[in-house]
Structure 1
């Protein structure tokens, strides 16, 4: 058994509008915070062709990646069909207690959060 296991401890999603077959929505995942034993995410599904997109935001830009707090994410929830969030906590399964993220995993997550696309 692995010394550390990740659990989803909170997960929520709000429905705003319908996306259905055969449409293929744009899925976006934003790493919001890396804690001692947890990782917080924001996520959303966007319609393939948004109808209420403000001129300053092009959803194709999201495919390049942006980090929490970036101005292009200011409309994240307003444009999404289904905005949501999720918190993952890492636990020692032998004692069922939160433990620090494995150091190589933490370094990788922090690197992703500090990387800025060109």
Structure 2
């Protein structure tokens, strides 16, 4: 099984520059039969080198899709984006189903309702 990135999108919101090191966030938005949809963001670090927060909650705690604490997620990010990977059989280049253990692991990251 090989993963191909078939779509990739990025939206710029605010600048960030050297020597700042952004904080990266990645979420699994949807798990299909042979594909995975991801949501991504980069956040500027605070002057104190702390991770940015959403409504006073540390982003490293993580949030499931639909959590009200994520209402201002896009407005805090310096860039947001999405990506879709499709997994294929390398011999045929045809989409192939995700292994069940891999799929279940990804589904746990989409939120409690999807498991």
TM-score, with structure 2 as normaliser: 0.82
Which residue, 61, 73, 79 being the options, matches 1:82? 79
Shift in alpha-carbon separation, 1:46–1:95, aligned structure 2, 3 A: same
Which residue, 2, 6, 19 being the options, matches 2:3? 6
Question: What secondary structure is seen at the aligned counterpart in 2 of 1:97?
Answer: coil
- Kindly state the Cα deviation for residue 56 of structure 1 after the two structures are TM-superposed: 6.1
Which residue, 58, 66, 72 being the options, matches 1:69? 66
Q: Which runs of 4+ in 1 moved over 4 A?
A: none
- Kindly state the Cα deviation for residue 93 of structure 1 after the two structures are TM-superposed: 1.5
Question: What secondary structure is seen at the aligned counterpart in 2 of 1:93?
Answer: coil
- Kindly state the Cα deviation for residue 64 of structure 1 after the two structures are TM-superposed: 0.9
Rounded to whole Å, the distance in 2 between the matches of 1:56 and 1:112 is 19
Q: How many residues align?
A: 107
User: Are the aligned partners of 1:31 and 1:67 in contact in 2 as well (CA < 8 Å)?
Assistant: no
Structure 1 residue runs of 5 or longer lacking an equivalent are: none
Rounded to whole Å, the distance in 2 between the matches of 1:57 and 1:8 is 33
Q: Does 1:111 find its partner at 2:114?
A: no
Root mean square deviation of aligned Cα: 2.0
Structure 2 residue runs of 5 or longer lacking an equivalent are: 48-52
Rounded to whole Å, the distance in 2 between the matches of 1:45 and 1:12 is 13
TM-score, with structure 1 as normaliser: 0.80
Shift in alpha-carbon separation, 1:78–1:108, aligned structure 2, 3 A: same
